Amino acid sequence: MGIEYDGRGLLGWQRQKDGPSVQGQLEAALSFVANQRVELTCAGRTDAGVHATAQVAHFDTLAVRERHSWVLGVNSRLPDGIALRWAEPVDDDFHARFKAFGRRYRYVIANRPVRPALEAGRVAWWRRPLDAARMHDAAQTFVGEHDFSSLRAAGCQAKSPIREVHSIAVQRRGSYVILDIHANAFLHHMVRNIAGVLLAIGDGREAPGWAARILAARDRRVSGITAPAGGLYFVHVDYPPEFALPSAEGPVLEGIPGNGAI
């Protein structure tokens, strides 16, 4: 399944006992349509407040339904902030997480003196002027295979801090600054922590060389802030072509000219 969701008001992807989650809402809707209990596995778990335009998840079921029946039936049981975009049968060897060999995130920053109202919780807000070119140059420090210990959450449960960033780009579009990052996988808070470093470099509080020093330190305590969740979007998952899954578009946000496919 391909899923999009607005992370506002949700406690992230993972099922929670004390509040609504994307997984919990979807499993309830799917179980109703399948008339049996359904459990989901996703390509990458997202935190509370984080959005997705192209999350992918799989489930096993004995229920037989047409593709459009899954989509229409599940969507009729979901809140407005979560929607099933497509559903496709896959071979038994498909796995939403382990067959994925790349993931893409986009971080959107409204860079202006006044906080956004209509986009509150859908973009990050930074009042200090940002130099996107300076941020882009510093961001190239993170490209390649590195130990990202300085840029993961203290409670990250990943066995290894090694990740490979394939590309990272920062560009300005009007009053917005957009960070796009593509990697084989991500650590907990990795994108938001990278964004926090680049924000300090972009507004001139830190020199571009600070990024390299943080990476080399392998110590979260020397790094910057964890940027707000509302600016982060999970926008694409890479799978081998033989699965022939539908392609996905990046987030379309009002006021960002030229925003479209990743």
Domains for the chain: give ranges and CATH numbers: 2-90 (3.30.70.580), 102-236 (3.30.70.660)
Per the prediction, the chain carries an average pLDDT of 92
User: What is the per-residue pLDDT for 233?
Assistant: 96
Residues 121-130 pLDDT 10s: 999 999 999 9
147 is catalytic: no
pLDDT at residue 249 greater than cutoff 70: no
pLDDT band at residue 253, thresholds of 50, 70 and 90? Answer: low
Per-residue pLDDT tens over the stretch 139-186: 999 999 999 999 999 888 899 999 999 999 999 999 999 999 999 999
The predicted model gives 26-42 an average pLDDT of 96
DSSP run (H or E) holding 2:
strand 2-5
Q: What is the pLDDT of residues 91-128, one digit of tens each?
A: 999 999 999 999 999 999 999 999 999 999 999 999 99
Task: Give the pLDDT score at 251.
Answer: 55
**Which member of 6, 47, 137, 238 is catalytic?**
47
pLDDT band of 247, cuts 50, 70, 90: confident
For 221-226, the CB contacts below 8 A with 24+ separation are 222/150, 223/150, 223/151, 223/193, 223/196, 223/197, 224/193, 224/196, 224/197, 224/199, 224/200, 225/196, 225/199, 225/200, 226/153, 226/189, 226/192, 226/193, 226/196
Q: pLDDT at position 154, please?
A: 84
